[in-house]
Structure 1
Amino acid sequence: MASLHPYPGLMPGSTQTTASVNRWVFWPAAVIVVAFAAFAMVLPDAAEAAFSAVQSSIVKNFNWYYVLIAAFFVVFCLFLGFSRYGDIKLGKDDDEPEFSVGSWLSLLFAAGMGIGLVFYGVSEPLSHFANPRPGVTGTENELAQQAISQTYLHWGIHAWSIYVVIGLALAYAIHRRNRPVSIRWTLEPLLGRRVRGGWGNAVDVVALVGTLFGVATSLGLGVLQISAGLESAGLLDSSTMINVIIIVVITGFVLFSVLSGVGRGMKWLSNINLMLAALLVIFILIVGPTQFLLRDFVQSLGNYVQNFVGMSFAVNAYTGEAGEAWQASWTTFYWGWWISWAPFVGIFIARISRGRTVRQFVIGVILVPTLITFLWFSVLGGTALYMQLSGQADLIGADKTVDVEGALFAMLGNLPGGAVLTIGAILLIAVFFITSADSGSLVMSMIASGGQVEPRRWVRVFFACVTSLLAIALLLSGGLEALKTAAIIIALPFSVVMLLICWSTIIAFSRERRAYDKARRAAFVEHIGDFYGLEVDEPDEREPESGWRSLFRRRGSRSAAPMETSTEILVASTAEAAPGEEITEEQLPKASTTPE
C-alpha cells in the first residue's frame, strides 16, 4: 500500500499550481493534533487521567451507538450491493477495470493487512479465551471456539463495511464524476456547492484528524510489539525509552523514503512484506497442528455466521462495570479504530477500483479480505489455543492475564525454528510500520492539500513527523490503553460524517438510476420507431391531446422531438467536468436533500 500514484481526478502528467495546502484544513488539524500531543507529553499523568475519564464517559453513554452504527453500515453496504444500484459503474460507461480480478483482490487485502493483524493475531484469541465476554460461559473447548468467533466479529464484515462506506462514495466521486481525491466530495450530492466552502473544510479537518489518530494508534501498537520481540530475542529490555527510540529510528526510514522519492522501493518493500506475512502463515500451517487449524477455520466460520446477529448487537447491558470495561477494551475500541482508519483505507480502495460496479466493489471489498483475515486468525490464534489446551505451552498467566505485546513471540518460540521466526516477525512489523507511516503521510497530505496529485514534500514530512510525535505522546500517557482511547474518541465525530456520506450516496445513486431509466426508455422508444418505420415520441414528450381527434390523429403527422441517446443522457447527468479540468461553480449541483 505504498504507492497510490497516479491519482484520479487529473490526467497522467498533469500538474497543479494551487497552494501547497488548504490552510482552512491544514492549520486547524495541525493545531488540534500538536496541542493534543503537547498536553500528553508535558503532563502525561494528567493526560492519562483525562483519557481514562473520557473513555469511561463515552463507553458508558455511547456504547450502544457504536454497536448500532457499525451494524447499520453492514446493512447499508449490503443493500447498495444487492439493490438496483448494484450495476452502477464506478467510472465512465466504457471504462474497463484498471486491475485484473486477481490483482485487485490482492490489493484489497494489502489495504487492510497491517500491524494490527500481527499484533492481535495471537493475543486476541488468547485474551477472549482467558477472559471471555462477561456472561459467556462453557467448557474450555467451548470457550476456545467462542474466542475465535469473537475475534472474527471484530475483524470481519463490520470492519470492511465501514471501509466500504467511504471507499464506495469516494470511488463514485473521483471515477464517475471526476472530482479530486478528497473526502469532502463524497458529500457533494447532499451539500452541493457548499462542499467548496466551510462545510467541506470541516469535513476534511475531521477526516484528517481521524486519519492521524488512526495511523498513530497502529504505529504505537507496532512499536510495543517490536519492543516485546526484541526482548523475547534477548536483544534489548523493553522500556518506554526503547519504545521512543524505535519510533525515532523507524521515522528516519520513513523520512528517507519521502525525501528521496523512492516510490518504487517502497512498493517493492510493501510487496515483500505481504510475501513475508503469507510465508509466516503457510509455515505455521504446515509445522503446526494442520488438521486442527483447518477444522477450526471451517467450524469457527460456521459459528460466526450462526451467531452473527446476536454478537453484532451485544452491548453487555446486564453485566455492569465489568461489561463496560470489556466493551471499551474490545468491541467499542475496534469500531472506533476502523472508523478512524476509514479515510485512509477508503482512499486506497477507491483509487484501485475504477471500472468496477457497485456490486463488484461491495462483494470484493467485504468478502475476500474478510475470509483471508479469518484464515490468518485461525492459523495464528488457533495454534496458540491448541498449544494452551494441549499443554504444549503455557501462554496465559496464572492470573488469567495475556502478554498482549509478547504473545506472538511466545507462541513462535514453541515452534521449530522459533528464533528465526521471531526475527522474521520483528522485521515484518517494522516494515509494516514503515509502509503504513509512508502511505499515511501521503494520504494525509492529499486531504490537507485538497486532493493534489503530488503533495509537496514538506507537507508529507510534516505529517510523518506529527504522526510519530502523536504515537510517542500516546505511549507516554498510558501506553496501550491511551492508544485505544484515542481511537474511540476520534471516531465519535467522524461517525456523524459517515452517516451523512451514506445519505449523500443514496442521493447520488438515486439520480444515477433515474438517468439510467430515462436512457433505457429513450432507447426503447427509439427502437420501436425504427422497427415499425415510424417516428415515435416518448409519452412525456407529446403534446397533450383530448377528445375524438386523438383517436384519428396519425402518429406521423407531426415530427417527433429530437431525443437524446442513452449515452448522451448518462454523460450529461454524471460528468460535468472532464478529467484534469477545474470544476467551475456552474458545474456544481445545488444543495439538495432529496433526489431530483
Structure 2
Amino acid sequence: MTNREGADGAAAREARGPRPDRVVFGVAGALALLFVGWGVVDATSLASVTGTLLEGLIRAGGWGFSLAALGFVVFALWLAFSRYGRIRLGGDDERPAFRTSSWVAMMFSAGMGIGLMFYGVAEPLAFYTQPPPASVPPGDEVEALRTAMATSLFHWTLHPWAIYAVVGLAIAYSTFRKGRRQLISSAFVPLIGPGLADGWLGRLIDIVAIFATVFGSAASLGLGALQIGGGLEATGLVGSVGNAVLVPMIIVLTAAFVLSAVSGIARGIQWLSNINMVLAALLALFVFVLGPTVLILDLLQTGLSAYVSEFFEMAGRSEATGGQAMLDWLSNWTIFYWAWWISWTPFVGMFLAKISRGRTIRQFIGGVILVPSAVSLVWFAVFGGAAIYQQKTGLDPAAAGTEQQLFAVLAQYPAATVTGLLVMVLVAIFFVSGADAASIVTGTLSQRGTDEPQRWVVIFWGTMMGAVAVVMLLVGGEDALKGLESLTILVAAPFVVIMVFLCVALARDLRRDPQVTREDRGSRLVEEAVGAGTRRYGDYFTLRIAAVPGARPRHRDGNGVASRSGDGVGTTDGA
C-alpha cells in the first residue's frame, strides 16, 4: 500500500467517524434483540417473569426509588446554593453558548411533551375521584381537590427535573470543564479512575445507560400510540383500538423519528417542534379562556401551596403508611414516574449538557428545575382544573379510558374534532422530535462519545426502541399501560444505583476543581499573612500584593482555567 493510499484510507475512516465500541454495542444490541425475540415468541411467559420480578422489586426496593429521588432533589439544590454554584461548565471566563431566552425555550422542548399531553387531564382527575390511600377523608371534596393538585405537582415539578439536572450537570462538567469524552462513564473518572472508566466497568455503565434510554423512549412511544389511538376512537375515526391498530401506529412513528435522525429533515422536525410548543400554548390558552377560568386561577395558588405544605408527607408515602393498597398505588404512579424520569436521564441529561456550556452550576440548576416546574404548574392547573370542573358538574370525563380523557374534556368545547386532531398531531410531533435525539444519544453512547454516530447505528437503536415498545404493549395484554409501567420500572432500577454513585463522583470532582482549590489556597494564604502581621506588628500592619521575582505571566490551560508558573504572595508591612 502506498503512503497516499494509506492517507486516503485514514481520511475516509475519519470522515465516517469512530467505529462502535464492540463490547458496548455488541452486548447491548444482543440483549435488546434477545428481549424483543422473547416478547414476540412468547409474550405470556415474558409477562409472567416481569410480573414476578416487579412484585419483588416493589416490595423489597420500592423505598429505594423514593429515597433516591428525594436525595437527587436535595443534592441538586445543595449544589446550587453551595460555593460550587459559581463554577462554570467550561472555562472560567467562558460565556454561555446560547442566550437565556433560547436556552429556556430549548429546555422546554426537551421536557415532557407526551407525558403532559397524556397525564395533564388524567392524573388530577384520577387523584380527585380516587385519592391516594389514607390521604383524604371520604366525601371531603375540598381536600380531594388539594391532594389531586399537590400530588400531580409532586410527580411533575422538582423531582423529575432535579433527576435530569444531576445527570446533565455531571456530563456537562466532565465534558466541558474536564475535557473528557461525552459519556456517562467518563463522569466516573474521579471515583473509579481512568482505567476502569475506559475499561469493563465504564462499558457496563454505558450499557445500562443505553438500556435505560431505549426502554424509557419505548415507554413514551407506547404512551403516544395509546393516546393517538384513544383520539381516533374518541373522534369516531376508528371504531375500536387494539394492538392491531397500535402496532402499525408504532411502526409508522418509529419510521418517522428514525428518518428524522438520519436524514436532512431533522432541522424540519426541529422547526415543527418549535411550532408544536406554540400550538400547545394556544391549546392551553383555549381551554383557559373558554373553561372555568376563575377555578383555574384559584388552582394555581391552591396547587402550589398544597404542594409546598404537603411535600414531605407525599415524599414519605410507603407501605408503612397505607398498607398493600398504598404499595400498589405507588407502583402504578410514583415509583413508575421516578423510574420513567430516571430512564430518560441519559438522553435529556446529555441534551441539557450540550446547550448549557458556559453556564454556572447555579444558573444550570436554577434554570433546569424552576422553568419547567413553572410550566407544569400552569399546565396541570389549566387541564386538571377543566377536568375536575366537568367532573363536579356531572359530565364525568373520568368514565372515559385514561388515554381518552383529554379528548372527553375537549368534547365539551367548540370545535372538538379540530382540537382532538390537534392533540394527536401534537403528540406525534412531540415524540418524533424527542425520539430522534434519543436514538442519536444511544448511538453516541455506543460509539465512545462521538457527536455524530454512524447512520446504521442510529437506525439500529431507533428500530430497537420501536420493537421494544411493541413488546411492552404485548406484555401488558389488555392493560397495555400496565406493561409499559412494569418494564420501565425494572429496567430503570440498575440506573438508580449508577446515579447515586454519579453524585458521589461529581462531588469529588467539584472538591478538586481549580477554582475551588484557588479559593481555598487564597483564603489560607491571607489567613497566614494576617496571622504573621498580627504577631509581628499587632494591629498596625497592611497587606501588600507582590509577584514572586521571576514569575511568568498568567496563561490558561485547555479547560480555560487560569494558572501561572509563579504565584503572587501577600507580604506584611508595618504601618
TM range (shorter): 0.7 to 0.9
Output aligned runs, 1:393-472, within 5 Å. Answer: 393-397=395-399, 403-472=401-470
- Tell me, what secondary structure is at the counterpart of 1:349? helix
Aligned AA (2:28):
A
Correspondence for 2:60: 61
Verify the 8 A CA contact 1:190 1:503 in the aligned structure 2: yes
Gap change, CA 1:386 and 1:449, over 3 Å in 2: same
Correspondence for 2:386: 383
Verify the 8 A CA contact 1:170 1:350 in the aligned structure 2: yes
1:150-208 CA-partner distances (Å, limit 9, x unpaired): 01001110111111110011111111122222111111121221211111111101101
Verify the 8 A CA contact 1:519 1:567 in the aligned structure 2: no
Correspondence for 1:22: 21
Q: Does 1:306 align with 2:317?
A: no
Correspondence for 1:115: 114
1:207 & 1:221 partners in 2: Cα distance? 21
- State which drifts further: 464-473 or 312-321: 312-321
Deviation at 1:15, TM superposition (A): 5.9
Verify the 8 A CA contact 1:208 1:447 in the aligned structure 2: yes
1:476 & 1:574 partners in 2: Cα distance? 57
Q: 1:263 aligns with which of 252, 263, 266?
A: 266
1:516 & 1:448 partners in 2: Cα distance? 37
Aligned AA (2:388):
L
Verify the 8 A CA contact 2:124 2:149 in the aligned structure 1: yes
- Tell me, what secondary structure is at the counterpart of 1:133? coil
Aligned-residue CA RMSD in angstroms? 2.6
Aligned AA (1:64):
W
Verify the 8 A CA contact 2:80 2:362 in the aligned structure 1: yes
Gap change, CA 1:255 and 1:63, over 3 Å in 2: closer
Gap change, CA 1:259 and 1:78, over 3 Å in 2: closer
1:264 & 1:169 partners in 2: Cα distance? 28
Aligned AA (1:233):
T
Gap change, CA 1:124 and 1:458, over 3 Å in 2: same
Correspondence for 2:76: 77
- Tell me, what secondary structure is at the counterpart of 2:397? coil
Correspondence for 1:365: 368
- Tell me, what secondary structure is at the counterpart of 1:85? helix
Correspondence for 1:277: 280
Verify the 8 A CA contact 2:176 2:559 in the aligned structure 1: no
- Tell me, what secondary structure is at the counterpart of 1:241? helix
2:520 & 2:559 partners in 1: Cα distance? 12
- State which drifts further: 204-213 or 96-105: 96-105
Deviation at 1:103, TM superposition (A): 1.3
Correspondence for 1:132: 131
1:423 & 1:560 partners in 2: Cα distance? 73
Q: 2:338 aligns with which of 335, 340, 355?
A: 335
Correspondence for 1:39: 38
2:297 & 2:288 partners in 1: Cα distance? 9
Output aligned runs, 1:183-194, within 5 Å. Answer: 183-193=184-194, 194=196
Correspondence for 2:49: 50
Correspondence for 2:161: 160
Gap change, CA 1:191 and 1:234, over 3 Å in 2: same
Number of positions where the alignment pairs a residue of Structure 1 with one of Structure 2: 532
Kindly indicate whether structure 1 or structure 2 has the higher relative contact order, using CA contacts under 8 Å at least 6 residues apart: 1
Correspondence for 1:212: 214
Verify the 8 A CA contact 2:231 2:420 in the aligned structure 1: yes
Aligned AA (1:465):
T
Correspondence for 1:227: 229
Correspondence for 2:6: none
Deviation at 1:279, TM superposition (A): 1.2
Gap change, CA 1:90 and 1:238, over 3 Å in 2: same
1:572 & 1:245 partners in 2: Cα distance? 51
- Tell me, what secondary structure is at the counterpart of 2:123? helix
- Tell me, what secondary structure is at the counterpart of 1:135? coil
- Name structure 2 gaps, 5 residues minimum: 1-12, 537-542, 564-575
- Name structure 1 gaps, 5 residues minimum: 1-13, 526-537, 549-554, 576-596
Aligned AA (1:503):
V
1:418-453 CA-partner distances (Å, limit 9, x unpaired): 111101001111112211221111111111111112
- Tell me, what secondary structure is at the counterpart of 1:430? helix
1:522-545 CA-partner distances (Å, limit 9, x unpaired): 9979xxxxxxxxxxxx97xxxx9x
Verify the 8 A CA contact 2:94 2:560 in the aligned structure 1: no
Aligned AA (1:190):
L
Gap change, CA 1:247 and 1:180, over 3 Å in 2: same
Gap change, CA 1:303 and 1:190, over 3 Å in 2: same
Correspondence for 1:516: 518
Aligned AA (2:401):
D
Correspondence for 1:503: 504
Correspondence for 2:9: none
Deviation at 1:574, TM superposition (A): 9.0
Gap change, CA 1:184 and 1:16, over 3 Å in 2: farther
Gap change, CA 1:563 and 1:120, over 3 Å in 2: farther
1:394-429 CA-partner distances (Å, limit 9, x unpaired): 1123xxxx6111111111111121111101001111
Q: Matched residues, percent identical?
A: 38
How does the TM-score come out when normalised to structure 1?
Answer: 0.85
Gap change, CA 1:518 and 1:35, over 3 Å in 2: same
Aligned AA (1:213):
F
2:467 & 2:431 partners in 1: Cα distance? 14
Correspondence for 2:146: 145
Q: Does 1:485 align with 2:477?
A: no
1:473-522 CA-partner distances (Å, limit 9, x unpaired): 10011111111111211121111111111011111111115433267469
- Tell me, what secondary structure is at the counterpart of 1:98? coil
Deviation at 1:112, TM superposition (A): 1.0
Aligned AA (2:295):
F
More helix by percentage: 2
Verify the 8 A CA contact 1:112 1:369 in the aligned structure 2: yes
Deviation at 1:27, TM superposition (A): 1.2
- Tell me, what secondary structure is at the counterpart of 2:398? coil
1:572 & 1:422 partners in 2: Cα distance? 52
Gap change, CA 1:76 and 1:202, over 3 Å in 2: same
Deviation at 1:93, TM superposition (A): 1.4
1:351 & 1:572 partners in 2: Cα distance? 18
Verify the 8 A CA contact 2:554 2:562 in the aligned structure 1: no
Aligned AA (2:505):
S
1:563 & 1:485 partners in 2: Cα distance? 63
Correspondence for 1:324: 327
Aligned AA (2:451):
V
